[in-house]
Structure 1
Amino acid sequence: MLRTPLCETLGIDVPVIGAPFGPFEEVEVAAAVCRAGGLGSVGTGGPLPALREQWTRLRQLTDRPFAVNHTMRPFNEEAFQATIEERPAAISFHMSVPADLVARAHEAGILWVQQVQDVREAEQAVRAEADVIVAQGGEAGGHGGEVSTMVLVPQVVDVAGGVPVVAAGGIADGRGLAAALALGAQGVALGTRLLASAEMNISEEWKQRIVASDGRDAVKVTQHDRVLPPFSRPGCHSVPRSLRTPFLDELEEHPERVDPALAGPQLMQAAREGRIHAYLPMAGQSAGLIRDVRPTAEIVRDVVDTAERILHGEVA
């Protein structure tokens, strides 16, 4: 079985992390990643009682390590403190590098997985003593930067020292994992590939749009500030990537026609009701590599097995 030092750091069996998916309930897919030997993740986009219920259910489904994700869009102090009290194996974070929060996690014995979008953030993550750094290329779905994965990963590896680096963005199969290892990373984070998994709790229409995509319709939402919640700390900037929709086209081509006071709350309500795919179905360019909806465990096993065969010269 393919193992790297990342596995020792996180207490996992294979070098795969399941990405968090914002406000979407993903307990089943996170548990499946954990059972397959990787690090599953859950987001903190919902109300605290629902989050606590999710954590309880996840612990019932697996005794393996998992991560709870937090972001700066917006940051929820109540949810963060509850996470500290819950003591998951790791807290993952993106959209800034908050050294004060890293210290709080470490005081509670929790590992810190820091996602970065450029070398500057990677240097900040090293200074903040992050335990793992996820170098997320601009190909990724959801909120991300601009530098491509092929460029960003070796840049981050060069400044990370002994901190394990994980590649994210544009990775959907074992070829991506093999390439990431060749670039100096110790594992990968899967996002869009797991959106199109059997366990993921999003609409089938969203999943089938990913399967049908060739990657060209996964575009940056440059006018996102008009409709998404604000960042809760100054200096945070991250542009989401989504599959195109009539709403997105209108937002990008005629932003003056979209009233933030109306569209923002409507978007959040759609997310809560499972209709966000009609507006902003987040997905990365790796959608162009995804051809089916499969069980999460099969996806993880295939990624690891294919990468291992490539590294042994068994796959052209």
Structure 2
Amino acid sequence: MLRTRLCDVLGIDVPVIGAPYGPYEQVELAAAVCRAGALGSLGTAVRPPADLRRQWARMRELTDRPFAVNHTLRPLDEEAFRATLDERPAAISFHLGVPADLIGRAHDAGIRWIQQVMDVRQAEQAVLAGADVIVAQGGEAGGQGGEVSTMVLVPQVVDIAGDTPVVAAGGIADGRGLAAALALGAQGVAVGTRLLASVEMGIAQEWKDRIVAAEARDTFKPVHSARFMPPFSRPDAYGSPRSLRTPFLEEVEAHPERVRPAEVGPRLVQAVLDGRGHEFLPFTGQSAALVHDVLPAGEIVRRMVDDAETVLRRAAEACGAAR
């Protein structure tokens, strides 16, 4: 079984983290990821604390394994964050900014902190703030992120992180990606798009089918996303979404002046809560080009780990034969 120091830090069996998916129905998926020995994650965006507590209770019914609860600065929901501290999950994951004060509060509650970063400056901030795990997310990733590619960002963050485990994210959908991440010095991977196309993920089948059919260039970062995405809570936060194209996004790109944030924002949130978010903003990363089917989450994790072991063994054999 492939195991790294990340597993010891998070109390998991394999060096894989399932990404959080904001407000989407993801409890069944996160629990399946946990049962496969990885770390499942639950998003919190736009959900009231009462809904979140029901999700967390359901999660604990489905698994006794460690899991993470995610928050972001777009925007930060203080009430939901306090509820998370009271819940005391194994870890809080965070992105779109590095909030040292929140990291301190999590540590005071005995909760590990997984900090996602999109550039070297954020990685430096995360180390100084005492993050327990740093996720170096390349611009290939779906959802909200930056621009620097995974292949460039991961080694830079590894060089900065010292003893803090680094996790690679963005463009990783199979065992080859996990093996490559380890070769770059990472201690594991975070997987988003590949797990969107899983049996357990609670999104529309149409969205999953589009992921399976997509090529890498079918995803893009809308230039005018600030006109429909929620505002940031702090001035140094940033990030832009990567998504498959939709008529809504095409309209935003062609005529941004027609998009009134005060009107579009609530409409988009309601669509997500109604299960129609994919009609507007189907977050998807470039790794969709590597996704060819919809599988159970546990099988995705097991295949990824097994294939990574095979890739690493073959690479070692090839290097030995070349001497």
State TM-score, norm by structure 2: 0.96
Residue 72 of structure 2 is matched in structure 1 by 71
RMSD: 1.1
1:82-101 equivalence runs, <5 A: 82-101=83-102
SS where residue 215 of structure 2 aligns?
Answer: coil
Residue 61 of structure 1 is matched in structure 2 by 62
1:150-299 equivalence runs, <5 A: 150-299=151-300
SS where residue 240 of structure 1 aligns?
Answer: strand
Residue 136 of structure 2 is matched in structure 1 by 135
Residue 12 of structure 1 is matched in structure 2 by 12
SS where residue 37 of structure 2 aligns?
Answer: coil
Residue 312 of structure 2 is matched in structure 1 by 311
Does residue 37 (structure 1) correspond to residue 46 (structure 2)? The answer is no
Deviations 1:233-255 (A, max 9, x none): 11211011000011111111221
Deviations 1:163-217 (A, max 9, x none): 0000000000000000000000000000000110000000000000000001111
4+ aligned runs moved over 4 Å, structure 1? none
Identity within the alignment, %: 71
Could you tell me how far apart the structure 2 residues matched to 1:28 and 1:37 are? 15
SS where residue 314 of structure 2 aligns?
Answer: coil
| Residues matched between the structures, number | 316
Residue 21 of structure 2 is matched in structure 1 by 21
State TM-score, norm by structure 1: 0.98
Per-residue deviation, 1:229: 1.1
SS where residue 237 of structure 2 aligns?
Answer: coil
Could you tell me how far apart the structure 2 residues matched to 1:259 and 1:82 are? 32
SS where residue 176 of structure 2 aligns?
Answer: helix
Deviations 1:85-128 (A, max 9, x none): 10000000001100000001101110000000000000000000
Per-residue deviation, 1:25: 1.9
Per-residue deviation, 1:259: 2.4
Could you tell me how far apart the structure 1 residues matched to 2:127 and 2:283 are? 29
Could you tell me how far apart the structure 2 residues matched to 1:52 and 1:233 are? 26
Could you tell me how far apart the structure 2 residues matched to 1:112 and 1:278 are? 33
Per-residue deviation, 1:258: 2.0
Q: Which amino acid aligns with 1:30?
A: A
Per-residue deviation, 1:265: 1.6
Could you tell me how far apart the structure 2 residues matched to 1:293 and 1:73 are? 30
- Unpaired segments ≥5 residues, structure 1: none
Q: Which amino acid aligns with 1:310?
A: V
Deviations 1:32-89 (A, max 9, x none): 0100000000011211111000000101100000000000011011111111110000
Could you tell me how far apart the structure 2 residues matched to 1:127 and 1:269 are? 38
Q: Which amino acid aligns with 1:83?
A: T
SS where residue 312 of structure 1 aligns?
Answer: helix
Could you tell me how far apart the structure 2 residues matched to 1:228 and 1:239 are? 9
